[in-house]
Amino acid sequence: MYLIISQLCFALTGASFPQNVFEEILFYLLQGQRKGRITLGHKVRDFHKMTPFQLSLSGFPRKYYSNGEFDTLNKIKKIFKSEGFIKTFFTHTEASEKRIITPAHISLKTRRGKDNSSLSERWGLGPRYHRPSEIANLKIILYFNSLKDMKAVDSLFRQKGYNPYKKYILKTLDISWLSTCVFCGDFMKQRSERVKESCTDPEELSRYCNSVRYPISGKTGYEWNRYITDVPICTCCRNSKERQGKNRMNMLSQNGENFATPPSHFKNSQEYHQLIARSYPKPDLSHIPKDIKLDWPTPLDYSLTYWNLTDPTESVQVGGGWFWHPDLSADEYMRCQQYKRNLSIEDARSEMDDRDSTDSWMDSG
């Protein structure tokens, strides 16, 4: 069966399946009636149409949401193919020349109220506002062949997305970073598929991944079985000290809007990290033994979260926090953190010994 599916994928797309796809995804799709094979064929095509440059589109008026999923998706597809929509949002003018930008793929998904619980609802932090039977969410993701095309369409929606007569706004959000490794920048197609299929609104997912402040649950495992709310890290970078050190200057940093902004979107990402390096003093490692025994294999293992690694305000906290200074190599950062870890363990042991001796003295009295 694996050979047949692999040949089908190669025939349809010209590429082979990534590792673990069959065991984790396709096996379950193959169960059931034969008509499901057609659905599988469409999923294979859609899987390989995804690109690293992704925009989430929201804001369509409720009148386009009908009771049936088929009717709703047909209405939206007709809108995307209409001459007026293409002229307004997919026609870019540059140097007096007009160019139609056609997305490489458009993903359309509907979710009913019973399937559309938000992250806040799942954690018991907010109520449900939609009846289980009605379509509560229309999830649209646009995939582009280049970053230039994506930025051009994004700009057109920002300029012309507001309709003053019908009082609605079509809004776009760059969600490319949700499917891109935050170390090396490689496109994680498996995770992209999970972002597309997730019931969670892309804007909410982006905000959640960026604002989580407790240890990430994805420090182990592969892209397919890792929680979708984790910071996107490919398996190669997750388990490699060398790759994390090599890509230190490519790491992401949170911005003021509570969304993670990829350094590749800055004009001078290297200069940004170098500015941080000049603004905060490099830790002194002269007193730290070079042969200190390390308890963990990578810099990420020594941090509370990924975001703590790139947060320079961590360096002014008691004990220096988890900030990875850009001028430190991976080995130097790990030695520094291990030294602080050893000191905290020794302090804790000393405090326990003092407490035990005090208790013994009181008991003897």
pLDDT in tens, 187-197: 998 889 888 98
Which residue has better confidence, 296 or 33?
A: 296
User: What's the average model confidence in pLDDT over 221-240?
Assistant: 73
Closest CA to 259 of 312, 214, 205, 187: 205
What was the pLDDT predicted at 197? Answer: 84
User: What's the average model confidence in pLDDT over 264-293?
Assistant: 81
Least confident of 166-175, 221-230, 255-264, 266-275: 255-264
Q: How far apart are CA 295 and CA 309, in angstroms?
A: 18
User: What's the average model confidence in pLDDT over 54-73?
Assistant: 82
Q: Is the pLDDT at 299 greater than 90, yes or no?
A: yes
Residue 283: DSSP 8-state: P
Q: How far apart are CA 233 and CA 231, in angstroms?
A: 6
Q: Is the pLDDT at 120 greater than 60, yes or no?
A: no
Model confidence over 12-37: pLDDT tens digits?
Answer: 666 676 666 665 566 656 665 555 55
What was the pLDDT predicted at 65? Answer: 73
Contact 59, 174 (CB under 8 A): no
Q: Is the pLDDT at 143 greater than 90, yes or no?
A: yes
Q: Is the pLDDT at 213 greater than 90, yes or no?
A: no
What was the pLDDT predicted at 72? Answer: 84
What was the pLDDT predicted at 126? Answer: 45
Q: How far apart are CA 77 and CA 108, in angstroms?
A: 9
What was the pLDDT predicted at 229? Answer: 76
Angle, CA 125 vertex, CA 122 and CA 128 arms, to 5°: 65
Least confident of 42-46, 213-217, 349-353: 213-217
User: What's the average model confidence in pLDDT over 345-362?
Assistant: 71
Which residue has better confidence, 330 or 73?
A: 330
What was the pLDDT predicted at 33? Answer: 56
Which residue has better confidence, 253 or 27?
A: 253
Q: Is the pLDDT at 264 greater than 70, yes or no?
A: no
| Confidence label for 104 from pLDDT (cuts 50, 70 and 90) | very high
Q: Tell me the Cα Rg of the chain.
A: 25
What was the pLDDT predicted at 165? Answer: 81
Q: How far apart are CA 264 and CA 150, in angstroms?
A: 14
User: What's the average model confidence in pLDDT over 150-165?
Assistant: 91
Q: How far apart are CA 325 and CA 335, in angstroms?
A: 13
Q: How far apart are CA 279 and CA 143, in angstroms?
A: 38
Q: Which tokens in the block code for residue 364?
A: 């003897």
